[in-house]
Amino acid sequence: MKFYWKIFISFFILIATAFSICGTWMISASFRASYHREIESGNSKNEMVRMSLGNIVGSMPADYFTKHKNAMKEICSSFAVSFGGDSDFFTIYNDQRSVVYSSGKPQNNDVLFAKAGKNKSAREIYKSKDTYYLRIVSYTILPSDLKGYYVETVTNINNIYLQRQEMTRMYHYIMFIILVSCMILSLALSYFLTYRVRVLSASTRSFADGDLNSRVQVHGQDEIATLAADFNRMADSLREKIDEISMHAKNQEAFTAAFAHELKTPLTSIIGYAELLRTMDLSQEEKWQAADYIFSQGKRLESLSYKLLDLFVLQQQELTFAPVSSSELTDAIVPMMKQNLAAKDVMLSMHLAPATLYGDKDLLLSLLINLIDNARKASSSGDTITVLGYSDNDYYCISVQDTGKGIPADEIDKITKPFYMVDKSRSRKEGGAGLGMSLCYEILRLHHAQWHIESELHVGTTITITIPQTGKE
């Protein structure tokens, strides 16, 4: 069952039950009040008959009842006219419960006679021909003849039952109108209360069907609004994760394609030259040339595999950082880069202001060596690579500047992608595979560091990295 119908049924049952209880209680309370009034009126009538009978009999001479056999009947008939109309009557019984006088139809209920005694009365309600009557029996002893008599009064109380019947009929009519109104109201209320739930459900289905931009407008501060906000946050989070996974898949696909391409070229050359050596009768010089090419391409594949391994390890590991002085970096980098720089006749001007960095020494060395080596590859003979380091609050900035060919503005954001090379022919000639900047990017990420790249074609490139430091030397 839908939530809409649950709310409607619950609300309808609640209202119907409340009105039923209230209506029944009101009718019952009204009937009880009328019933007690009739009881009091019936008791008063019975008491009036007893007192009237006693007063009249008491005023008579003592021998009046012996001289007149029908004296009691005559006395009762004298005040019977004043008792009531056609619907009310009374009956006088002697001790033997024989009728002495009756203005109506005697009932003679033995149970009531047994209950009635001195200063006591008994009553009952009975129905005759669709009419309700109140019957009250009391016992009295008359002063003149000292005989006991039962006084029975019968009062028509059908009016309170008719009143209750009419009230019940009116209640059912009003209840019908109220329930119809409540049904319409509960339907409208259920629709209103579940509207936002339906909207949220529709957005959920839409999101599940692939519409990742599906969101719910949040109105108010109630539980449904909170649920809608939570859904939007969940959708945003899922969208980010899906976009991240999609981007990762695209990067993996691009990485695989680039990796296959990078492997294909040297492998094809190696296989070709090996086949040439195996099948052709070559001169000693030609053999040396073929072997040299096979060796150079093999070393390129070796370098490629090492860099791929380094990149994979960096992406998987978590490092434990330690203080590293800037002087340690300078003392290690200069001799390591000396031979490669000299081979291309490129100068290195390196000055790192004294400071203590916070990170992994080997990775920081690899970072700077890759940046300097990329600058070397972009430089021409006689150029100078400038490396400067300086403190900036809690960070240490290192800039690597060259006067080489530069990087096109639309390619700066692409240089961190694996196997991406600005100048492919130059990079391959220099032994590059397009992984150096990817390694640099991963090292920066692990150190919670940043970099800023400024480049202009045929002018040069400046890469500035910002690394956290623990203090100054």
pLDDT at 251 over 80: no
254-308 confidence digits (pLDDT tens) = 555 555 655 665 677 788 878 878 888 778 887 788 788 788 767 766 665 665 5
CATH number of 215-317: 1.10.287
Q: What is the pLDDT of residue 12?
A: 78
* Separation in Å, CA 389 to CA 375, 385, 470: 17, 14, 15
Question: And the tokens for 17?
Answer: 């039950």
pTM over 0.85? The answer is no
**Nearest Cα to 364, choosing from 233, 467, 451?**
467
| Superfamily name and number for 3-166 | PAS domain (3.30.450.20)
Q: What is the pLDDT of residue 198?
A: 74
- Separation CA 383–CA 369 (nearest Å): 17
170-206 confidence digits (pLDDT tens) = 988 888 888 888 788 878 877 777 777 777 777 787 8
Q: What is the pLDDT of residue 417?
A: 63
Mean pLDDT of 12-40: 88
384-432 confidence digits (pLDDT tens) = 999 999 998 888 999 999 988 888 877 777 666 655 544 544 444 444 4
Q: What is the pLDDT of residue 365?
A: 82
Q: Radius of gyration (Cα) for the chain, nearest Å?
A: 57
The domain ranges of the chain are: 3-166, 215-317, 318-471
Asked if 216 and 199 touch (Cβ cutoff 8 Å), the reply is: yes
- Separation CA 163–CA 432 (nearest Å): 108
Helix (H) or strand (E) holding 177: helix 158-208
Q: What is the pLDDT of residue 85?
A: 57
**Nearest Cα to 439, choosing from 415, 464, 423?**
415
Q: What is the pLDDT of residue 33?
A: 93
Q: What is the pLDDT of residue 261?
A: 54
CATH number of 318-471: 3.30.565.10
